Amino acid sequence: MIQAVVGAGGKTSLIKKYAHAYRAQGKKVFVTTSTHMFIDEDTLLTDNADEIIRELEEKGYAMAGIPEGEKIKALSEETYGRVCEKADVVLIEADGSKQKPIKFPNEKEPVIYDNVEEIIVVCGLQALGKKAKEVCHRWELVQACLGIAEDTVIEASHIQKLVRKGYMEPLKEKYPEKTIEIKVNHDDSLYQKAVAALLEADMDVSLIQEEWFSTQPNLVICGGGHVSCELVKMAACLDFRIKVLDDREEFANRERFPLADEVICDTFDHLENYLEPNGYYCVVTRGHKDDFLCVKTILQHPYQYLGMIGSKAKVEKTFENLRQEGIAEERIKMIFAPIGLPIKAVTPGEIAVSILAQIIQEKNGKQISSVSRELLEVKEGGTLCIIIEKSGSSPRGVGSMMFVGEDKVIDSIGGGAVEFAVIEEAKKRPQAMIKEYHLNHEDSGKLGMICGGSNKVLFLPISFKEGI
């Protein structure tokens, strides 16, 4: 078996992992490069075939190349050919990436020898969330492929396009007789595991959204008064991660808010330091001035919900001030003010109920599903099952997910006969795939359902073994 490893973001690590696995099987493994590769402690710095073969026969492993600074370069054609004849497995680093997680190859890359049987394309999800130019090799080529600016934040779709356009499509065209596959270097977060499974199956990464993998929505409460106390008590029961900010020590302390995840005593003009990505914001300060300051700050950042307490007169005055500050009318209309559902709430507890009911209505109406901490922290192999499309009256929304392991099931995609059918399918440990479950007419009868509708479920194999 002769394998060439190309791409970026973990080629050397993958080669070492493969070499270890092959040696454990009793195979003789030869590691080299067709371009350049960093020198390892047991690297033979020679182009002498007899010396390399002797090492291979004695130790069952040899890594060799011609020295060039801190790296080795490709062996001569004759030496490479002779050593290949004596090895059971040959692993070739056939590309360079300057230790960056993603790249787009130039016209001379990668360098694939004629006798290579399998090409493995590597990419690294360490690039996710980082500015493009910081994590891309061959930046000008990356920019030409993606059409993005230097400070663009890299998303999974960017990585997939680079792999497809830079490697998979041209390699399949140039080497139709060779096996080509993708391997992804990632961390142990469930989202990156899911993205890796999609990339390796060459399925569209836009089938999933990162927001689905957020376990607890972030609730930021501006103000530490009586309504805030009740909000914290109830929100804690709803699995929100809660942050309270007030500028008075007697209102911003752990004794007053024991259930909050974070209590901050600071002035409201520093609110920008405590914002949460796509957070849910309740502005319930003690006065118009602070309300205006908080709302103005929040409007300049992404958020999921923004509500402000106050009478209609106070609300209109705040809105007018926002207009004078140049805030667009469509942004102002997105503020929930007066805050909460109109349930004629009077007491702080009733007001808190109305606010949280409104937040729940907005949160769940956007079809962004959250998962349990147990699922996010699972550390075993299995199948992740995600609803990616629904119609009719199926019980759970898009983004709902469930993990099926060897001896456990974590979370739910709706229960009943459909969930049972999904679990049975997941136990077969399928490759990444999509399967549709109908809940109407003949199909619903087979599943014992009468509610109608249908679900498309994405099945993703998830592995938690160490390394790439």
271 shares its domain with 316: yes
Residue 468 domain flag: no
d(CA 116, CA 139): 28
Q: Which residue has the higher pLDDT, 452 or 114?
A: 114
Structure tokens at 165: 């356009």
Burial of 132 (0-12, 13-18, 19+ CB in 10 A): buried
d(CA 181, CA 295): 50
379 shares its domain with 329: no
34 shares its domain with 77: yes
The count of other CB atoms within 10 Å of the CB of residue 179 is 11
Burial call 341-366: b when 16+ CB within 10 Å, e when fewer:
beeebeebbebbbbbbebbeeebeee
Can you tell me the mean pLDDT for 101-111? 96
200 shares its domain with 242: no
Q: Which of 144, 178, 210 finishes a domain?
A: 210
351 shares its domain with 447: no
406 shares its domain with 442: yes
CA 57, 58, 64, 66 torsion: positive or negative?
negative
Split into its structural domains, the chain has a count of 3
Question: Mean pLDDT over all residues of the chain?
Answer: 91
Q: What CATH number should be reported for the domain holding residue 341?
A: 3.40.50.720
Amino acid at 16: K
130 shares its domain with 254: no
d(CA 383, CA 235): 32
Q: Which of 339, 365, 391 finishes a domain?
A: 365
206 shares its domain with 282: no
Whether residue 444 has pLDDT greater than 50: no
Per the omega criterion (within 30 degrees of 0), is the bond before 110 cis?
Answer: yes
Residue 28 domain flag: yes
Domain residue limits at 15: 2-210
pLDDT in tens, 379-434: 889 999 999 998 876 667 788 899 999 889 999 888 788 899 999 999 999 999 99
Whether residue 466 has pLDDT greater than 50: no
Q: What CATH number should be reported for the domain holding residue 175?
A: 3.40.50
Amino acid at 114: D
Q: What are phi and psi of 188, to 5 degrees?
A: -90, 15
d(CA 198, CA 160): 9
Confidence label for 283 from pLDDT (cuts 50, 70 and 90): very high
Q: What are phi and psi of 460, to 5 degrees?
A: -125, 125
361 shares its domain with 433: no
Residue 453 domain flag: yes
Residue 250 domain flag: yes
- Is residue 45 within 8 A of residue 67, CB to CB? The reply is yes
204 shares its domain with 323: no
Whether residue 365 has pLDDT greater than 80: no
200 shares its domain with 228: no
Q: State pTM to two decimals.
A: 0.72
From 252-266, 310-324, 369-383, the region with the lowest mean pLDDT: 369-383
pLDDT value at position 414?
A: 81
- Is residue 315 within 8 A of residue 308, CB to CB? The reply is yes
Whether residue 10 has pLDDT greater than 80: yes
Report percent pLDDT > 70 for the chain: 94
> Residue 179 forms beta bridges with which residues?
118
pLDDT value at position 100?
A: 94
304 shares its domain with 228: yes
d(CA 338, CA 346): 13
The full length of the chain comes to: 468
Structure tokens at 332: 């102002």
Q: Which of 210, 244, 277 finishes a domain?
A: 210
- Is residue 321 within 8 A of residue 297, CB to CB? The reply is no
Amino acid at 127: A
Residue 93 domain flag: yes
pLDDT value at position 396?
A: 73
Burial of 212 (0-12, 13-18, 19+ CB in 10 A): buried
**What contacts 20, CB < 8 A, 6 or more positions away?**
none
